[in-house]
Each structure stands twice: as C-alpha cells, then as structure tokens.
Copies of this chain bind each other. A is one copy, B any other.
C-alpha cells in the first residue's frame, strides 16, 4: 500500500529531516550514556583536538550561536572535562583546554559514537558511504551559499 507521505518522500529535505531525526535519537542515547549531549560532545571534540580554543571559534566551527554556547561550555566545565584560563594577551577571552578526565571521556565516547555511526551506514557499500558524505557536504555548502546570497 502507498505510504501516506509519498509526495513528501520525493523531497530530499523531508528525507534528510526524517533520517536525521531518528538517527539523532540513537546518538542522544550514546551521548547521555557518557553524561554528554550532542552539543557538549561536539564542543569537547573540538577542544580536545585544538587546545586553547575560544568559544567564538567553536561557535563558528559548529554553527552554534554564541549565547547558546555558554551553557554548553559551563556544562563541560562543571563536569571537570575542560579548563578555562584567561588569555594573557586579551583578557576578554577564555582559553579552553580539555582536562585529563575530559580527554579520557572523549576517547571513550568517540569510540561509542563511531560504532553507532558505522552501524547506521553499514547497509551501504563503501562507495555509497563516500557518495553520501560527499552529497551531504555539497548540500550543506549549497545551503550556506544560499544564506549569503539571500534567496538565490
């Protein structure tokens, strides 16, 4: 029998939203099993891999508005996963670094996240996986370009 959402399913935007929505529920479980959320995991990843980062850089990299980053960083800091030190050359800035605990938790969580990620795409051939990532990248770039141009 024809599904009710046949017309919608022909739209890439609809399938993106549906696939992402259901996938994120599973990622959410993995994150929370390690005391993290999607946003805290992403931020921790950046801080672990680039010690001394500032919030403004994280915001740009992850497309998170600066006000929304405050509680995320606070969360990581409260858990003792990162340190905040005033930048010596610009006292408006905090330099963020992962603690030993933060690095350990990140590696553990990352492994679990990668396991889930691999499981979600393991029905695709290696070529299909590559094409998927490439297509998603192109859509993201196209959408970013649209944003700059207004609506064209």
Contact of A16 among B20, B45, B46, B62 (CB under 8 A): B20
A80 to B3, CA, bound (A): 26
Copies of this chain, whole number: 2
Interface SS majority for chain A: helix
Report the interface size for chain A: residues with CB under 8 A from the other chain: 66
- Inter-subunit contact A143/B11 (CB<8 Å): no
A53 at interface (Cβ–Cβ under 8 A)? yes
How near does chain B come to A97, taking the closest CB pair, in angstroms?
Answer: 14
A66 at interface (Cβ–Cβ under 8 A)? no
Q: Which 5 A-B pairs have the closest CB atoms?
A: A4-B61, A22-B143, A15-B136, A20-B20, A19-B140
